[in-house]
Amino acid sequence: MLNKPIIIPPQKMSPLFETHIRSLASFFLEDSVGENLRSLGMGWTVCKETYYLHNLLPASANIAFVVSGEKHIHHDTHIERCPRGGLTLFPAGVPVCMSNVSLIENNGKEKSDKEDNQNHENLGYVALCVSFPQEVISTVSHLFHNNNTLNLLSTSSPSASSSSTSSACESSPTISSHQECSLQEFSSDDFLLAVLESLALMCHSLSKNTHGSSTQVFATRMLENLLLLIASQSFGTIMLHGVMGVDSLSLRLRELFRKELSYPWKMSDVASHLHMTERTLRRHLEKSGNGLRELLRSERLHAGLVLLQQTSESVESIALDCGYSSASRFSRRFQDLFGVLPREMRKARGDWGGTLSV
């Protein structure tokens, strides 16, 4: 099993594929689902200037669907590109070095790469990112490993779709409601179409509050459905059970810290939440080579990174949200870990200077 992110690029940008991308991009342009998305661990990562990050270590499985620009995954000897319309899978606990590439500053240098995409010559980087909560992963793992067939929630419910979204999705692969479906391998483009449909319908449901007070529950079911779709592919099962050798306790601790970043967590607090003695917790931490303080700092800084990428909050406000009373100390720690200052991240994001043809 590969110990790295997985990139699924589109093979052909068909008219149907373009329609799906435009449908998804429209939610970003309308800015109609931002807060609702973030409450589900989803959000738009945007930048108008390219930036590079190292030492990323996701505590939960997540994905990024590129609507504009490119994502680059840096390896020791080469760079993998995830172009517009592509999907990157990030298994939990797998270290990543990457750059989010805005094509704005590369106009004139990348014409050969965009000959078949002439309507998108002035692009910033935009991606819809989804982090799967442990509760969703546990639910899907239970269904996946205890059944040869799956009874899945429909991603094409008429009540969840606008007429434009429904027509855009009519020809894409879907999983019918209340129907037992054998696991099957899609072609890469059919798989990406199914993912696009699921993401667009989640955004639509959240933006229109289609299901009233049950919207969040409905969206969570759709997250489960999306993860089931990914896990049904041979390359996607890693999103459920992670990578061999990854310290599961460290991931559990970071998920615990994420729930209350500013809390001054102590060994006794953590041991109580994990239903173990402090002695047992210390032994596990010593065995893994991780310290409680280092794990808390890592999760706070990773949370700060998400806020810098997906919101327009000030660095000072983000530092406070992440448990730092001093923005300067937050900035130093952030640069030490990721290799870039928060103010540089904020400058790269700007007030969104890219254009999208939708």
AA identity, residue 27 = F
Give the integer Cα–Cα distance in Å for 162 and 87.
24
Predicted pLDDT of residue 212: 55
| pLDDT greater at residue 192 or residue 38 | 192
Please, are residues 256 and 214 in contact by the beta-carbon 8 Å criterion?
Answer: no
> Residue ranges of the domains in the chain?
6-135, 137-234, 248-349
**pLDDT for the residue 245:** 52
Q: How confident is the model at residue 220 (pLDDT cuts 50, 70, 90)?
A: confident
CA distance 36 to 208: 11
- Residue 2 is predicted with a pLDDT of 61
Cα–Cα dist 45/56, whole Å: 15
**Position 57 pLDDT exceeds 70:** yes
Arithmetic mean of pLDDT over the chain: 80
Instruction: Note the pLDDT of residue 182.
Output: 43
| Lowest mean pLDDT segment, chosen from 154-168, 238-252, 300-314 | 154-168
Q: What is the pLDDT of residue 358?
A: 40
- Nearest CA among 79, 97, 90, 131 for reference residue 246: 90
CATH 2.60.120.10 fits 6-135, yes or no: yes
CATH number of 248-349, picked from 2.30.30.50, 1.10.3720.10, 1.10.10.60, 1.10.10.10: 1.10.10.60
User: 């805005």: which residue's tokens?
Assistant: 102
Q: What is the pLDDT of residue 67?
A: 93
| 0.95 surpassed by pTM | no
pLDDT in tens, 241-295: 765 556 678 888 988 998 899 899 999 999 999 999 999 999 999 988 889 999 9
